[in-house]
Chains A and B, each alone.
Chain A
Amino acid sequence: MNTQKVISGFFIILAMTLNFGFFYGDIDTFTHHSPYELFFAIVVNLIATILKLGDKTQVGSVLLATSLVADLQLLAAAIVWGVSVYVFHGDVQNYAQLVVSLSGGALMANIVSVIIFMGDTLKSKR
């Protein structure tokens, strides 16, 4: 068993599941989307990104790219949420669709990441 694979696999898949957890629910209703879940999704995504750093192979580079995309989308979602609450003092509901769809984009990137990760693992002879 490869400990490094376990750890990085754990974080990569956890990033996807948390992302999905936040995304799942009615797109218009904020009560369906917990800010804690978004927070954890961001943290776990960042950790997954750093774990992917330093792999010089072709597959490693693509994995890193998917993670960077997911980070970007999730951070954008968090920033939109924060700005809508604190800067515009407006009805958060107006921005719910944007926040959730941004996290949906991140989910796509995470799914691609998991698929590549699984493919790479299956291909490995060890």
Chain B
Amino acid sequence: MHNNIFWIIIRRMRTPLLVIIITFSITILGLVLIPGVDSNGKPYHMTFLDAIYFVSFMASTIGFGEIPYEFTYAQRLWVLFSIYISVIGWFYAIGALVTLIQDKNLILELNVAKFNKKIQNLKEHFVIILGYNHSTRELIKQLTADGKRVVVLDKSQEKIDELELEHFVPEVYALKANVESPDILRLAGIKKRNCKAIVSLFDNDFKNTKIALLAKLINNKINIIVKSSTTEQTQHLKNLGIKNIVDPFNLIANRFYLAISAPHLWILEQMLFGHDLYIHDNEQLPKGKYIICGYGRMGKALRSSLQKTDTDCSFIDLKSAKHKAEKKSAIFGDAQDYQALLEAGIEDAVAIIAATKDDLINLTILLTAKKINPDIYTIARENTLDDVTIFQAAKIDRVYILEKIVSEYVHRVISQPMAHQFLQIIHQHTEEWGEEVVEELKRKTCYHPEIFEVRIVKSEAYALTNYLKDGNKVRLGQIARDLSNREKRAKIHFLMVKNRKEEVTLLPDDNYEVKVSDRFLIAATPEARENFELLINNVNEFEYTITGHELQFGILKKILEVKEEI
């Protein structure tokens, strides 16, 4: 890449350099050949040194005057001619150099070289994100908050500038480039061992598929996360062997189904995003007749989940684009629209879902519905993160923000793989099981536990790992202890454990034997989390918890040992 910069400069500077050499040599030669007169009136010829000196300051318009002696008219005529050709040649060269510095290609190459160097020097794990938009911005925020390194590619310089203004910490490496080119993907480090995932969340499904395919061909081991918005596309991606496919409509449908049929499983899922362990009043989905406005991808997905729960529902087939074209406005709520709502049975419906592609139409549907039936439960689809405040102000009971759902999902896949797996497992369980788990969590921790992952390796659990490597055995109950009093159990609950062979134990009990390389998914109060992390890392705390004795070391230990011997 450095080579490219060099060649761009060389190619651009060829003509200016030629012009300078030729004009300078002509003027120098003329000055040497034309005879002059010295101070004594004797004829003389300028030497090459004098001539080069004179031309150098003449061409650069510094102009020290006529040296070494005053010029004759013959010399002045030649100098007059020389000024025009050499000054023009000089300015042309300077101008070419200035344009070269501002040259778009050169700047681009310089950026590419800088970017390449940064990627080559990256030692920690990183994630490549393609395209900078609302969802990926949310995602970058979450990933950088975890301290993860992110590399972003986008084809528009404006977006890159926007990203740079955000000042993410740690620094996000960004480059303007065509994301569909294999060379660019390689440049972004897709083949590096420490590149953990590549994320493509474009609205265009074909683009996502193409990128997924390219990424898979270049590096088979990498974790590819792509968005797909139709079932056909999802199937297609599955056939390609892509494991992580984000289908926002499918995600919403699943959540919706859980919320209606298994509220406690829904709580377990939401808990991972920091939800409390109980259902707030306005989150309780009513039972009864539902109305869905908008029969697009989301409408269909919701219908299938409603049908699974045997809920009665009716449709208003509303297409945002068609609506806007017919009514010439993005507002729902004239006499005809009222009629449509009444026909769908709004008066005896318990909930209405606005699921069109247009946020303003969604908003006005719900406001109109509330006018007819003030008690109705309102659910909105929000397409972009732009209008969050408006939706909040409209007091809608439940809002599904597509972009946020996508970014949260991807964040979980990358940053919390255990939590991700946990979710997939609980989906197979029943509501009764979910209720039991939630009650146990409430009893053992608190109403608002923190969820975190710990891996039993030296970097994350120093004391515990060393203890295990010495051949000792530790049961889970032994380390779930309060630091101030080892007789008491800490407010901590183990949700899941995965051992070295990828075998999963759901809700391990206190007799579970801890092994090196186990990964735990843990729920705990913030205080218990802090204590637990201290316990498994700090040798002194660990010794106390396991044996009940304070660890002794250094001179004190020797003195004590001697005493015991006596």
Contact = CB atoms under 8 A, between A and B. Distances in A.
Interface stretch (B16-24, B230-238, B263-271, B534-542): B16-24
A68 to B, nearest CB: 13
Contacts, number: 36
B21 A43 contact: yes
B49 A56 contact: no
A35 B47 CA distance: 10
Contacts of A43: 21-22, 25
A54 B48 contact: no
A53 B28 contact: no
A52 to B, nearest CB: 10
A4 to B, nearest CB: 12
B22 A82 contact: no
Contacts of A82: 48-49
Interface string A52-92: 01101000000000000000000000100010011000000
A78 B49 CA distance: 10
Interface in B18-50: 18, 21-22, 25, 28-29, 32, 47-49
Contact of A50 (B14, B25, B28, B32): B14
B96 to A, nearest CB: 13
Nearest to B12: A54
Given A40-B25, A43-B22, 13 more contacts: A35-B48, A36-B29, A39-B25, A39-B29, A47-B21, A50-B14, A50-B18, A53-B11, A54-B11, A56-B7, A82-B49, A85-B47, A86-B49
Interface residues of B, number: 15
A47 B18 contact: yes
A47 B22 CA distance: 8
Contacts of A14: none
Contact of A39 (B7, B14, B17, B48): B48
A46 interface: yes
Contacts of B11: 53-54
B21 A54 contact: no
B411 to A, nearest CB: 45
Interface in B34-78: 47-49
A54 B7 contact: yes
Interface string B217-257: 00000000000000000000000000000000000000000
B21 A46 contact: yes
Contacts of B48: 35, 39, 78, 82
A39 B55 CA distance: 15
Contacts of B28: 39
Contacts of A56: 7
B68 to A, nearest CB: 12
Contacts of A85: 47, 49
B513 to A, nearest CB: 64
B10 interface: yes
B29 A53 contact: no
Given A35-B48, A39-B48, A82-B48, A53 B25 contact: no
A82 B7 CA distance: 35
Contacts of B21: 43, 46-47, 50
A53 B10 contact: yes
Contacts of B49: 82, 85-86
Contacts of A39: 25, 28-29, 32, 48
Nearest to B29: A39
Contacts of B14: 50-51, 53-54
A40 B24 CA distance: 12
A47 B29 CA distance: 16
A39 B11 CA distance: 26
A54 to B, nearest CB: 5
Given A39-B48, A43-B25, A82-B49, A50 B17 contact: yes
